[in-house]
Structure 1
């Protein structure tokens, strides 16, 4: 496993992080989760990413149990706050009330007294940003988190948040966007700004929900038990990639991977890790062997010729519109439950 500083902060993270967004769901057993975490640790992964909302808040509990007994100082634990965790009107968002209550609940579920990075899962347009950042500063000053990060904020939202973090003297060090060879939206505005500000990316869905493993073939017959066939396992997130045009082009990447002695998943992960602003890529798994295989991508370097060949294949189906990040920050009052 290779390691890198998270942006220009002093925190060092593993190039691949283990994420249990979809790993811990109704279709996954506790035994599978434990085996996947063990495989991640055996592969040298020290960075673990979760959120208070994953699997109805069970994901944090499961991760905490799986890591029990590990040396806490040797791990980097990331969790998030924003999405609804209960039926009340104040059970979501980035208000002072929800942040202060959510960090305590996350720590209780994880069985830890602090996390390394506490991330705002989305931007909250219904709460003043000054209130949000002051509440996050309280979390840091109370010793419940070492660093602050965000996920799927726009470039302008990040710039404003970073300025306030500077005034509050708290380390605002990371962004967690979707990023893959098919989804390059952050490259346009977010990554250049983060490089300027010294923030690193911890990207999610580097395999485009499994499409960039090559297991989904054109024609619409999906592998039995795959994410595409499981409504409890994120099939709605995967659906936009399952077009014949995208899948035909992904299949054309196999010879490129084979020439390098890589699987298509390893090639796709290595592609993501080539970007200088990417500190880590979050990977999940339904089986521990996937973690073991994919971890081999951490030490792979792709030369310019290979990167150009990948671009030539995928360019017609790549998403780059910065508005896609704006769309991911909810403004609909219906998000506020209760």
Structure 2
């Protein structure tokens, strides 16, 4: 159901009287741009259109909370586990697993984690001349909390934003983070306008994320957070679905692409290793040999020999294709 506004007869989220803290949680990741850089980027194309100023990941954020008279940026928070709430004006909204909270720029608010079941969240602050129409299309000023159909896709985009910002504060990283933020808000608009439907398979969503981000290095704990499960439960479900652990599954996806590149290009092993996520070609070669029992060079040589033999022996070509 869109929105999660508290109503009479529903149990309130327990916020108690615990003092709230803005950050500093074990395992957190966070990047905040220097304010002079933000001012410059907001006045300079192309970052003036879409700019991510802050982004982060807070796991099990006990006692988390923030209160602002107004924010300069639109705030997007994706809750993947646990619970929290947000107060906007005189209204209070619950925030639960697989829901997104969007607070438009300029709106006073307070949000905080539940005391008994603190949330795990991915979040970003976004500004720019192109952001207003997307936020308006979300109707976030009416009901800032809503369900998403593909939560792993949403957390994956927030992870991409954060990874870009973790790289450096150069123009290339800022533009890439802004592009991911535009994609994120577009997905949220599409989700909110789509007919209500059940959640997609979270394990299949993680597998799709790994296929689309072969060169990224992401831990099992973060994949579990994307899916909204504990690490142990996620690992068991993933192995049941795929036959492999999540990292081994990604390694085999990488090796599949590496085989394709070895078969169809004359690129160096080092170049192929980098494309599939390995900065160390020796480590890439060891992983390739572990799975294929051949080094990348041996694999390419044998594949070339098979192709030459097939060209001279049509019957052999037919046998190889079967």
Question: Does the pair score TM above 0.5?
Answer: no
- Higher RCO, Cα 8 Å, sep 6+: 1
Give the TM-score, by structure 2 length: 0.26
TM-score, scaled to structure 1: 0.25
